[in-house]
């Protein structure tokens, strides 16, 4: 019966999704809503200030990633702040999931030194959904956004 349905028909039977995917979708929608709200709160013609944050894996070039993120920010007419923040995944002295660099960029939020945090992807941010959601809501209350940009620049800001 399903093969009789035209492909351009607008109804598609629901697909079963795992709970994790549903949570991540909800958090992505929250991040995008907070992104839009933060941008809307910035006075017209004021330059948007962003700091870059990179979670660097073994063998990755964090400086090059920061450079590309800063170029992306500039091309988006955002002003990268002079401070940028990095955490390394290969630091064996820190407890798993610890992100001191991300905590430092959040400290700058308290000083109103930036409007947003530009990073590479969701994977760069705290791993547990609960902690990630807490960070998003905390930043959102301060009208600070989180934006993702791929260092290759094949895609725009997400």
In the predicted model, what is the mean pLDDT of the chain?
A: 82
Tell me: the pLDDT tens digits for 23-44?
A: 889 999 999 999 999 999 999 9
Residue whose structure tokens are 């949570």: 23
**d(Cα 97, Cα 80) in Å, to the nearest integer?**
26
**d(Cα 119, Cα 132) in Å, to the nearest integer?**
14
CA angle 31, 23, 7 (to 5 degrees): 95
Instruction: Indicate the pTM of the whole model.
Output: 0.78
pLDDT at 128 over 60: yes
**d(Cα 68, Cα 66) in Å, to the nearest integer?**
5
Sequence-ordered list of residues with C-beta below 8 angstroms from that of 54, at least 6 positions apart, any chain: 62, 65, 66, 69, 84, 85, 86, 87, 101, 119, 120, 124
Tell me: the pLDDT tens digits for 44-97?
A: 989 999 999 999 988 889 999 999 999 999 999 999 999 999 998 775 556 666
How far, in whole angstroms, is CA 48 from its chain's centroid?
16
CA angle 144, 150, 155 (to 5 degrees): 100
What letter would DSSP give residue 96? T
Tell me: the pLDDT tens digits for 2-15?
A: 444 444 444 444 44
Question: Which pLDDT does position 109 carry in this prediction?
Answer: 84
């Amino acid at each position: 019966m399903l093969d009789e349905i035209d492909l351009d028909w607008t109804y598609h039977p629901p697909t079963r999704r795992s709970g994790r995917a549903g949570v991540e979708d909800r958090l992505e929608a929250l991040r995008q809503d907070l992104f839009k709200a933060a941008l809307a709160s910035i006075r017209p013609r004021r330059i948007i200030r962003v700091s870059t944050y990179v979670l660097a894996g073994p063998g990755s070039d964090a400086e090059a990633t920061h450079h590309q993120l800063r170029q992306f920010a500039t091309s988006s007419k955002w002003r990268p702040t002079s401070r940028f923040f990095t955490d390394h995944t290969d630091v064996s002295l820190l407890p798993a999931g610890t992100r001191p660099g991300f905590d430092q960029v959040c400290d700058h939020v308290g000083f109103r030194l930036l409007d947003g945090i530009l990073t590479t992807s969701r994977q760069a941010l705290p791993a547990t959904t609960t902690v990630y959601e807490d960070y998003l809501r905390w930043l959102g209350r301060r009208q600070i956004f989180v934006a993702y940009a791929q260092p290759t620049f094949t895609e725009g800001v997400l």
